[in-house]
Copies of this chain bind each other. A is one copy, B any other.
């Protein structure tokens, strides 16, 4: 069992966009370029994040993507569910009632104990993902990552933000 690659790309994009100030945006093509991804591949995930209310898409020549809400209000669970869908990883196929010796449907009215236990464990996972805030991930990156990485991220935002800030008077 494994997450699709879209989860990693989506979290990285959201973390990068958390560094924008004001109402600035970054074009999707610049985000794709940053991570060496095909723009059409990334576009699909940026759209899913937008539909889920995590990103905001601003149209027009000065448009692009920005976070739709504060990074304190975005969890890894929000992003995972936006990209992977809301269904549980364990999807009971009711095999207990397959086979030639199955009983009448009324014998299976109660939820299977296996399904219950699997979903209970998955709930613990969701709670843990829900406790991981984008703001904390960005703060950890800012404080603990190699300073060259932090500087490169800031430079990327400065180069690609829309609208561009006017150059400082020299």
* Assembly CA distance A118 to B84 (angstroms): 14
* Assembly CA distance A7 to B122 (angstroms): 14
* Assembly CA distance A127 to B128 (angstroms): 11
Contact assessment for B128 and A121 in the assembled complex, using a CB-CB cutoff below 8 Å = yes
Pick from B36, B96, B131: contact of A99, CB under 8 Å: B36
> Knowing A8-B93, A76-B117, A117-B76 touch, does A148 contact B103 (C-beta < 8 A)?
yes
Closest Cβ of chain B to A71, distance in Å, is 13
Contact assessment for B101 and A152 in the assembled complex, using a CB-CB cutoff below 8 Å = yes
Chain B residue with Cβ nearest A103: B148
Question: Is A1's beta carbon under 8 Å from chain B?
Answer: yes
Question: Is A73's beta carbon under 8 Å from chain B?
Answer: no
Interface centre among A34, A93, A102, A121 (most CB of B within 10 A): A121
Question: Is A132's beta carbon under 8 Å from chain B?
Answer: yes
Pick from B8, B103, B118: contact of A92, CB under 8 Å: B8
A102-142 interface with B by 8 A CB criterion: 102-104, 106-110, 113-114, 116-118, 120-125, 127-129, 131-132, 136-138, 140-141
Contact assessment for A35 and B95 in the assembled complex, using a CB-CB cutoff below 8 Å = yes
Closest Cβ of chain B to A76, distance in Å, is 6
* Assembly CA distance A108 to B5 (angstroms): 19
Chain B residue with Cβ nearest A116: B140
Question: Is A37's beta carbon under 8 Å from chain B?
Answer: yes
Closest Cβ of chain B to A66, distance in Å, is 19
Question: A145 contacts which chain B residues (CB < 8 A)?
Answer: 110, 113
Which 3 A-B pairs give the minimum distances between C-beta atoms?
A125-B125, A36-B98, A124-B128
